[in-house]
């Protein structure tokens, strides 16, 4: 088995609580509005948005390899601004190029009133080589892109999610 971890960190002038509410707690409503060319909808299949919730991200034809990805929330800490989820379906690369993948976000306040968002992706695969790492890197680019779109929206709309 081959596995790995990808870490990333990005800074925003948006306060942690605003980013948390908009980009993580209200993700299923806000992100499809901000990215309709990529995300058709985010459906809650089970749960109330907290731990145990199962979400299905439905993509447009812009995503060539698959139409949806389903995940399950493992950690949702509103005070510490921590989200961890596990990809649970074969709609994405799971089951074809990777065996498992989990993503964890942590949003910390920065000294200037904004925030630092840390992302950690853990994955494993039976394949030896760059395939699994490439899939994890693709996932990272997608989730980082969503968060950055939310950053931009919150900066352009200072009264939203206050």
For 128, half-sphere exposure in the C-beta direction (CA atoms, 13 angstrom radius) is 1
Residue 138 has phi, psi (to 5 degrees) of -65, -40
| pLDDT score for 149 | 96
Judge whether residue 158 has pLDDT over 80.
yes
For the sheet with 39-46, list strands across it: 2-12, 115-125, 100-109, 82-87, 68-77, 54-59, 39-46
8 Å CB contact between 26 and 34: no
Average pLDDT in the 108-114 region?
Answer: 96
Residue 114 DSSP one-character state: S
The CATH architecture assigned to 2-156 reads 2-Layer Sandwich (3.30)
1/38: higher pLDDT: 38
Q: How is the chain split into domains, by residue range?
A: 2-156
| pLDDT score for 4 | 87
| pLDDT score for 46 | 96
The proportion of the chain whose per-residue pLDDT surpasses 70, expressed as a percent, equals 91
Q: What tens digit of pLDDT does each residue of 64-109 get?
A: 878 899 999 999 999 999 999 998 876 666 666 678 889 999 999 9
90/43: higher pLDDT: 43
| pLDDT score for 108 | 98
């Amino acid at each position: 088995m081959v596995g790995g971890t990808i870490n990333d960190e990005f800074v925003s002038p948006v306060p942690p609580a605003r980013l948390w509410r908009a980009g993580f707690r209200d993700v299923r409503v806000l992100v499809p509005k901000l990215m309709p060319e990529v995300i058709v909808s985010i459906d809650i299949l089970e749960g109330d948005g907290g731990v145990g919730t199962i979400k299905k991200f439905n993509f447009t034809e812009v995503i060539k390899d698959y139409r949806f990805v389903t995940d399950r929330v493992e950690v949702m800490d509103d005070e510490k601004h921590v989200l961890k989820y596990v990809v649970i379906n074969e709609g994405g690369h799971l089951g074809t190029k990777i065996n498992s993948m989990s993503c964890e976000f942590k949003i910390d306040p920065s000294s200037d009133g904004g925030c630092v968002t840390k992302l950690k992706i853990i994955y494993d695969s039976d394949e030896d080589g760059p395939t699994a790492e490439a899939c994890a890197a693709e996932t990272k680019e997608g989730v980082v892109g969503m968060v950055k779109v939310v950053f931009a929206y919150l900066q352009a709309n200072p009264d939203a999610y206050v």
